[in-house]
Amino acid sequence: MTRFAHVIKRSGVTVPFTPNRISNAIYRAAVAVGGRDKLTAEKLTKQVIEYMEETIPEGEIPTVEQIQDASEKILIENGHAKVAKAYILYRNDRARMREQRESQTIRPSTNIPWAKIWQVLDWSASHNLHTTLHYKNRLDKGELQQIVSESEMFYEEDIKLAAQEICLRRDDLRIVLISGPSSSGKTTTTIKIGQILKQMGISLVALNVDNYFFDLEKHPKDEFGDYDFETPQALDLSLINQHLAELVEGKEVHIPFYNFKEGKRNGSQIKMQIGKNDIILIDSLHGLYPPMTEGIAPEKKYKLYLEPLLQMKDSKDQYIRWTDIRLMRRMLRDEAFRGYDPERTLTHWHYVRSGEMRHIIPNNIYADFIINSAMPYELSIYKSRLYDQFKTWVDKYKEDPLREDAYARAQRGYDLLSEIPELTDASFVPSDSVIREFIGGSSLKYH
C-alpha cells in the first residue's frame, strides 16, 4: 500500500495512482536490453514508491515527471545502468514526440518516404482523388468503377515492379523481407508477389517469426495490463538470426512452434530447409528492424516496406492520416476474423502506435522498395460499418482522462467519416483486392 492515491499527468489532469504502471515501464526498459525479470521490476517499483514517500511532502500529489525521475534514480542506484539508459531513451523519445506535436514549426520527418509520397500525390492529383471533395464529385458522376480500377491498377503496378526487382537479383537473394505497420496489407501483398515469382520459377518459403515469441509470461505489459506483442524484443532475435544463417547455408533447421492459446513456445517441432530456387520469406512487422537479420549479408536480402500512403485532403485542408486508415482496417479485421470488439482495438491502438513509431516506421529508410496499399475508395466502405460506433466512442471517452488517446482518435475518425460518401454494398470490390483482407470475401487463401 502507498499513501499516494492520485498522480498528475502532463496535461494537468489528475488520475488514479497505479503502481503497476511503474513496474510495467521498468520491465519494458529491461526487455529492451535483454532482461526478463518481472520480480526485480516489482521490487524496484517498491523502492521507487518508498523514495517518493520520503521526498514528496504529505498531501502533495506526485506528477508523472517526479515518478519518472524517481524511477531513473532507483535504477541507477541499484546497478541497472543499461535498463536506466533504455528507460531514459524511451522517456526522451516520448518527450521529443510531444514537442513535435506541440510545435507550430513544420519540420520534414525522417519517418516519411518522401520520394514515394510525391509519386502517390502526383497520381492522386492527376486522377482527381486528392481531396474528399474531388472524390465525392467523381462518385456523384457515377465513376465508382473507374476509381476502383485506377486504384487497384496503381497498387498492382507496385507489386509487379517489386517482383521484377527480386527476379533480377535472384542469383544472390536468399531472403525477402516484407514489413510495415499493423494493417498495412502485408498478407495480401505477400501472396500477390509470391504468385508472380512462381511464374518466374522462384518459390517463396515462409518463415513465420511469430513462432519465435518468448513465452507470454516474459512479455512486458502496457499501463492497462495488455501484453506487448508490438516490440521486436518480444521475439527471440538471437535464435532467428541463427536459424536464418543456417538456412541460407542450405542446412535443415528445426523451427519452434508458438502456442498462442497457452502463450508458450513449444520446442523445435517444424523442419525447414530451402532449395536452389527457394527464397526465404519473412512477413513481419519488424522485418526491417536491423537486429532481426543482422547476421545476413545485405546482398542476400531484399527489403519491402508497405503502408497505405493515401494523399487526400479533407475539408479542413488536412491530409488524412495513414494511421487512421489502418486503425479502421484493423477494427474490421479483428472483429471479422478474431472476434475482437472494435472498441478494444481503439483502446489498444495507443500502444500499437507507440511501438510502430519506435520500431517499425523509422526503419522504412532501409527498404529497397515501398508499396502503397491505400485505396481512395476504402473509407466509403468503412463508413457504413464504423461511423455510428465512432460517434458512440466520442461521447463515451470525452470526459475520461485515462482514455485521452482513444477519444482523440474517435473524434478524428468521426469527423473524417462525416464527410466521406457512404457505400453500403461492397460487392464492387475485386475479390483479390487488398481491402478484402480487412472486410472479408477474398478469393485469396490466407493462412
- Indicate whether 447 belongs to any domain: no
Give 345's pLDDT tier (boundaries 50, 70, 90).
Answer: very high
Give the torsion through C-alpha atoms of 71, 73, 96, 20, to 10 deg: 0
* pLDDT-wise least confident of 17-31, 173-187, 277-291: 17-31
Residue 97 has pLDDT above 60, yes or no: no
Looking at the structure, do residues 50 and 155 belong to the same domain, yes or no?
A: no
> Taking 90 as the threshold, does the pLDDT of residue 376 lie above it?
yes
Q: Which residue has the higher pLDDT, 144 or 98?
A: 144
**Given this model, what pLDDT does residue 96 score?**
59
% of the chain exceeding 70 in pLDDT? 92
Quote the pLDDT of residue 39.
86
**Contacts for 15 with CB less than 8 Å, ≥ 6 apart:** 6, 7, 9, 401, 402
109: in domain: no
Q: Do 57 and 167 fall within a single domain?
A: no
Inter-residue contact 177 to 244 (CB < 8 Å): no
* 416 has pLDDT over 90: yes
Query: What gap in Å lies between CA 296 and CA 262, rounded to an integer?
Result: 32
The closest alpha carbon to 332, from 411, 407, 426, belongs to 426
User: Is the domain of 86 the same as that of 135?
Assistant: no
DSSP state of 213: B
Residues 238 and 310 in one domain: yes
For residue 398, what pLDDT is reported? 92
Domain annotation covers residue 122: yes
Question: What's the pLDDT tens digit per position in 395-404?
Answer: 999 988 888 8
DSSP β-bridge partners for residue 303: 177
Query: Mean of the pLDDT values across residues 154-172?
Result: 94
Position 74 scores a pLDDT of: 85
Q: Is 84 part of any domain?
A: yes
Number of domains observed in the structure of the chain: 2
Cβ-contact 224, 20 below 8 angstroms: no
Burial of 51 (0-12, 13-18, 19+ CB in 10 A): middle
R_g (Cα) of the chain, nearest Å: 23
Within-domain flag for 237: yes
Q: Round to whole Å and give the CA distance between 150 and 123.
A: 10
Report pLDDT for 103: 47
User: Which one of 48, 78, 102 terminates a domain?
Assistant: 102
Query: Which domain covers residue 252, as residue numbers?
Result: 114-439
pLDDT band, very low/low/confident/very high, at 221 (cuts 50, 70, 90): low
| Across 416-420, average pLDDT | 97
User: What is the structure's pLDDT at 232?
Assistant: 85
pLDDT band at 99 (very low <50, low <70, confident <90, very high): low
Give the CATH number of the domain where residue 198 resides: 3.40.50.300
Are 323 and 431 in a shared domain? Answer: yes
Q: What pLDDT does residue 380 have? A: 98
Residues 209 and 90 reside in one and the same domain: no
Using CA atoms, how far residue 97 sits from 27, 42, 91, 116, 232, in Å, is 22, 28, 10, 23, 20
Give me 123's grid cell.
Answer: 497520381
1 assigned to some structural domain: no
Are 162 and 304 spatial neighbours (Cβ–Cβ below 8 Å)? yes
76 lies in the same domain as 183: no
Confidence at residue 104, expressed as pLDDT on a 0 to 100 scale:
44
With CA atoms as reference, report the closest residue to 131 among 116, 121, 141: 121
pLDDT of residue 415: 97
**Shared-domain flag, residues 282 and 354:** yes
What mean pLDDT comes out for the span 267-281? 88
For residue 75, what pLDDT band results from cuts at 50, 70 and 90?
Answer: confident
> What does the pLDDT read at residue 153?
97
Q: State how far the Cα of 416 lies from the Cα of 119, in Å rounded to an integer.
A: 24
In a domain, 300, yes or no: yes
Same domain as 118, residue 97: no
As given in the structure block, the three cell numbers for residue 376 are 481512395
Same domain, 169 and 279: yes
Pick the last residue of a domain from 46, 73, 102.
102
* Residue 101 · residue 43 · CB < 8 Å: no
Q: What is the mean pLDDT of the chain?
A: 88
> Looking at 102, 135, 168, which one is the last position of a domain?
102
Angle at CA of residue 88, ends 236 and 9, nearest 5°:
110
In a domain, 444, yes or no: no
CA dihedral (419, 421, 426, 430) positive or negative: negative
Asked if residue 433 and residue 348 are part of one domain, the reply reads yes
CB 64 within 8 A of CB 8: yes
In whole angstroms, what is the distance from residue 223 CA to residue 22 CA? 8
Say if residue 186 is in the same domain as residue 48: no
pLDDT > 90 fraction of the chain, expressed in percent and rounded = 57
